Structures are given as structure tokens and as C-alpha cells.
């Protein structure tokens, strides 16, 4: 090739998925010139995601709402509100975009606080305790919609040290490593909540004793523990959702929260495999 000439390769999405994405993730090394051309995108604050998630949103013309009083489809607005601050707050970040047949991984860096997440501005119900949270775990996803790998960070409840979990490998980590563009699910604990390990008071059955003995003989270093039972059952973080009809079809108010996911989208989350 002569100087100044370039080669352009255009992939159709179905060809790409058939030959590459469906089989193995492409391994590539980014050249330093990429970073000279494209400056790194600024991080997105988690509070801005919460603000967008709780902002009133106009339903599109192809997504009308059925009015029970009018008995017909009408243009409407919808809004999510947080009614009550739960003891454990789980935030699912939107990392995957669906546009027709095109699927895209969103690698934007979300700047989330490790301590002192304050939901005071977003909780609309009566408050008995301050809605302030501290992070204790993060689930990370690496890969794409076609497959990938999950890792996690967890904070030890006794010495407050952070640890990195990658399959059966556990290593000590540092707080500045917890924030990354791979963060997928954030786990927060309200400050007034004290966590204690769950110890079963039930007598083990004969079958369970046999299974336990077989488990003890396993050479695997991985051990699993049951999570603590919920004292108040399942808490719906999105305690309130309101929809009201709007008659002015010319209103041009549109908004979308692009980085905070509705819990219903968890059904579309990718299934990871071990690398």
C-alpha cells in the first residue's frame, strides 16, 4: 500500500455473529494511536443515573397506555419513584443496548460511591432511618452479549478489606480497583443494618448428613454459604410507579435513563461461561 491509503472492511452483523461472536471473543490489542485520536470519555455519576431513572418519561406514539377510565389507548407519561429505602439496595447497571438486530456492550465508566450513597433526594415515602448506604460488593462482566466472564469484588465485614473473586481464585484488592467500566451489579447495605451469618437451627436429615460428608471429602477449595434470611421479606426498591394521561400529543418532552436498568431487563442479561 502507498502512504495515505487505507483499507476499509464492512461487516454485516449476521456474518460477524456467525464467524466470530458466536464462537469466541475476538482478541485484539489497541494501538496507542487510538488513544491519541479519541480522548477517554468522562465518567458518569451514579446520582445522574438515579436522577434520570426517576425522571418523568413520555411514552412514544407506538407505546400507548390503556386508560381504565376512558377505555381506550391514550398518550401518557410514566414515572418511577422509590417509596422506601430497603435494607439491601441492589443497583443493576444497563450494560447492553438492543437496536433491532444490533447488540452493543456499553463500557461507559459509572462513578459510584464506595461509602455514603445518599438516597434522601429520591425516597418519597415516610422515613424511619436515613437512606444512606455503603458498598459491600460489585459483580463485574467482561465480554459481550454472546458470552463472557463474571468476576466480583467483596468487602470483608470484619476488617473492611476488599477481595477480588475470579472463579476459585480469591486475592486481596484495594478500593481504587473496585470502580471499573466492567461493574455490572452494585450491592449496597444501609448503614443502620447489621449483618450476621445465618446459622440453621434445623436438625440435618440422614440424607443431608451423607451429602455433607461427601462434600467435605471434595478437594475443591470453593465453599458456599447460605445468605442471611430477609427480616421483612422481599423489598421492592421501586415502590411506586405512576402513569398519567397526557392530552397534548404535540408535547416534545422525551427522556430516557440510559445507564440505570429496570429490573425486568435482567431477563436479557448475558449468560457467562468460565474462561
- CB of 95 closer than 8 Å to CB of 145: no
Do the domain assignments include residue 5? no
Do the domain assignments include residue 270? no
Do the domain assignments include residue 2? no
Is 271 exposed, middle or buried, given 0-12, 13-18 or 19+ CB atoms closer than 10 A? exposed
Instruction: Give the tens place of pLDDT for each residue, 105-129.
Output: 888 999 999 999 999 999 999 888 9
Beta-strand pair 132-144/117-118: antiparallel
Do the domain assignments include residue 221? no
In the numeric block, the cell 477517554 is attached to: 40
Do the domain assignments include residue 110? yes
Q: Measure the CA–CA gap between 196 and 28, rounded to whole angstroms.
A: 45
Q: Which of 1-15, 16-30, 37-51, 70-84 has the lowest mean pLDDT?
A: 16-30
Q: Which of 33-37, 99-103, 154-158 has the lowest mean pLDDT?
A: 33-37
pLDDT given for residue 18 in this prediction: 56
* Number of domains the chain is built from: 1
pLDDT band at 63 (very low <50, low <70, confident <90, very high): confident
- CB of 104 closer than 8 Å to CB of 94: no
pLDDT given for residue 274 in this prediction: 40
Residue 9 has pLDDT above 60, yes or no: yes
pLDDT band at 16 (very low <50, low <70, confident <90, very high): low
Do the domain assignments include residue 188? yes
What is the CATH number for 73? 3.90.70.10
pLDDT given for residue 56 in this prediction: 92
**Residue span of the structural domain in which 67 resides:** 39-197+236-265
Instruction: Give the tens place of pLDDT for each residue, 165-184.
Output: 999 999 999 999 999 999 99
Do the domain assignments include residue 21? no
Radius of gyration of the chain (CA): 23
Do the domain assignments include residue 246? yes
Mean pLDDT to the nearest integer, 205-209: 58
The pTM for the full model equals 0.60
Reference 120, options 109, 133, 107; nearest CA is: 133
The residues near 261 (Cβ < 8 Å, ≥ 6 apart) are 92, 93, 94
Amino acid at each position: 500500500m502507498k502512504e495515505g491509503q487505507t483499507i476499509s472492511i464492512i461487516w454485516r452483523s449476521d456474518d460477524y455473529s456467525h464467524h466470530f461472536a458466536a464462537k469466541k471473543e475476538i482478541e485484539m490489542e489497541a494501538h496507542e494511536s487510538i488513544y491519541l485520536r479519541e480522548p477517554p470519555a468522562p465518567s458518569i455519576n451514579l446520582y445522574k443515573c438515579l436522577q434520570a431513572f426517576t425522571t418523568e418519561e413520555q411514552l412514544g406514539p407506538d407505546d400507548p397506555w390503556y386508560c381504565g377510565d376512558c377505555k381506550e389507548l391514550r398518550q401518557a407519561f410514566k414515572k418511577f419513584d422509590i417509596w422506601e429505602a430497603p435494607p439491601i439496595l441492589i443497583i443493576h447497571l444497563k450494560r447492553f443496548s438492543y437496536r433491532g438486530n444490533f447488540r452493543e456492550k456499553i463500557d461507559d465508566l459509572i462513578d459510584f460511591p464506595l461509602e455514603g450513597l445518599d438516597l434522601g433526594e429520591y425516597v418519597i415515602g415516610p422515613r424511619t432511618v436515613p437512606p444512606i448506604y455503603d458498598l459491600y460488593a460489585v459483580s463485574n462482566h467482561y465480554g459481550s452479549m454472546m458470552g463472557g466472564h463474571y468476576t466480583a469484588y467483596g468487602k470483608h465485614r470484619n476488617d473492611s478489606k476488599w477481595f477480588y473473586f475470579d472463579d476459585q481464585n480469591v486475592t486481596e484488592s484495594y478500593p481504587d480497583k473496585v470502580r471499573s467500566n466492567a461493574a455490572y451489579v452494585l450491592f449496597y447495605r444501609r448503614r443502620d443494618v447489621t449483618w450476621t451469618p445465618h446459622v440453621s437451627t434445623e436438625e440435618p436429615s440422614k440424607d443431608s448428613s451423607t451429602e455433607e460428608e461427601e462434600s467435605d471429602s471434595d478437594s475443591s477449595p470453593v465453599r458456599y454459604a447460605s445468605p442471611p434470611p430477609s427480616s421483612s421479606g422481599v423489598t421492592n426498591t421501586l415502590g411506586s410507579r405512576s402513569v398519567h394521561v397526557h392530552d397534548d400529543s404535540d408535547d416534545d418532552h422525551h427522556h430516557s435513563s440510559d445507564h440505570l436498568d429496570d429490573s425486568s431487563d435482567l431477563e436479557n442479561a448475558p449468560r457467562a461461561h468460565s474462561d
